[in-house]
Structure 1
Amino acid sequence: MSTQTTSRRQLLIGLAALAGCTDVPLVTPASTERGGDELRVLVWRGGTAARLGHNHVLRAGDLRVDWPAAGPVLRFRLDALAIDPPVLRARMGDGFASIVDDDARAGTKANLLKALEAAAHPEVVVRTLQQVGEGARRAVEAEITLHGVARRQWFVAEVDGRRARGEVVVRQSDFGIQPFTVLGGLLAVQDALVVQFEVLQP
């Protein structure tokens, strides 16, 4: 393998690791295709050399959902996040069409857990505080606890019978997390993350 090819491979692996650093999140597990709960976190590439990297999708692998009166409470462990599952990437469209190999996924997860100080703050909790509105569309206020920091945030949820789905933008910096960057910003991940979730009330 040529030196140029090796350097490019190392650069791409580094970009994948980047994305892991950013992450974090919010709520919901399993697979909607199996009728369960699911939470996805979309991580966007950044930096002046962003075109060399990948966007990433993370899935909460051990999502637990309780249903008190105010609405669902979601919990998951950071070390249980699945990084770029190939089947899930394939469902996400053109922005996730690039292939992320096993080495890149492992590097992303290692950097993610380090950046989030997962050993000290292993769990993410999303607790519904109130819901406004009736019918299919509702405004929801939730308290998100991540990286040892609790923040309140509003978002819109779609309710269809016992199933609720929604999407929320979360900024890492609001939780004291420095978005991953290397080489003076040449490679980076965006501060804003998109969290998509779907939960089913028992």
Structure 2
Amino acid sequence: MSPQIIYRRGLLLGLALLAGCASAPLPAPPVSSTDELHILVFRGGTAARLGHNHVLRAADLRVQWAAGGPMLRFRLDALAIDPPALRERLGAAFASSMDDEARAGTRANLLKALDAAAHPEVVVRALQQVGEGGRRAVEAEVTLHGVTRRQWFVAEVDGRRARGELVVRQSDFGIRPFTVLGGLLAVQDALVVQFELLQP
């Protein structure tokens, strides 16, 4: 079995970083086609060139707005794994093709590894905003893998639309980044979460 195949299969377990809390569900507003959340997962290890970067899309993203800002929730079993059009938009770092078999394997292993029945959601809740105009500092509470952490990031605000990125380190949430063959192939600890929201 080639290192690339080992990496692609092993990466499925590395995606376990997306488990959310097992809290009781809140009434969910309809999913908006104008709201987007993507998670970028990067290859690592001394033979990283044999692997692939991955992008995950929260296909059922639900957004609730409060005084401090939005709360974002999405279900693990609704993640879109490496949508071709999205990979193409992300440029050369995501140019390698992913077939349906690889996507299906990723999904099956992800749900199993995360015990998705007990941990169905990932939650990001804005707590406060600092600043005015087009750039805001936002403090958010991120619940991932049964662990909740607070962190700051910068959001761009244009009228009712907000865009931003935050970096999430798996190890901060008690997750050991995937690695195989003594570190030859791995998933990097840091993930990039990108979002674009439209306030009603």
TM-score band (shorter)? 0.7 to 0.9
Give the aligned partner of residue 82 of structure 2. Answer: 84
Choose the corresponding residue for 2:132, options 126, 134, 142: 134
C-alpha distance in structure 2 between counterparts of 1:122 and 1:154, whole Å? 25
| Deviation for aligned residue 1:110 | 2.8
Task: Provide TM-score, normalisation by structure 2.
Answer: 0.87
Which secondary structure state, in structure 2, belongs to the residue aligned with residue 67 of structure 1? Answer: strand
Identity of aligned residues (%): 76
Give the aligned partner of residue 94 of structure 1. Answer: 92
Deviations 1:111-143 (A, max 9, x none): 333443433211111111000000000000000
Choose the corresponding residue for 1:51, options 27, 49, 52: 49
RMSD: 1.9
Runs of 4 or more consecutive aligned structure 1 residues displaced over 4 Å after TM superposition:
none
The range that moved more, 126-135 or 41-50, is: 41-50
Structure 1, unmatched stretches of 5+, are: 1-6
C-alpha distance in structure 1 between counterparts of 2:192 and 2:11, whole Å? 13
| Deviation for aligned residue 1:108 | 2.1
The range that moved more, 78-87 or 180-189, is: 180-189
C-alpha distance in structure 2 between counterparts of 1:181 and 1:117, whole Å? 20
Q: How does 1:1-202 map to 2 (within 5 A)?
A: 7-8=1-2, 11-20=3-12, 21-22=14-15, 23-24=17-18, 36-202=34-200
Kindly tell me the number of residue pairs found equivalent between the two proteins.
188
Letter in 2 for 1:12: Q
| Deviation for aligned residue 1:146 | 1.1
Structure 2, unmatched stretches of 5+, are: 21-30
- The answer to whether the 8 A contact 2:160-2:199 is kept is yes
Inter-CA distance 182–114: structure 2 relative to 1 (3 Å threshold): farther
| Deviation for aligned residue 1:109 | 2.3
| Deviation for aligned residue 1:151 | 0.4
| Deviation for aligned residue 1:195 | 0.6
Inter-CA distance 162–87: structure 2 relative to 1 (3 Å threshold): same
Task: Provide TM-score, normalisation by structure 1.
Answer: 0.86
Deviations 1:164-200 (A, max 9, x none): 0001110011111111122222221001001110010
Letter in 2 for 1:120: A
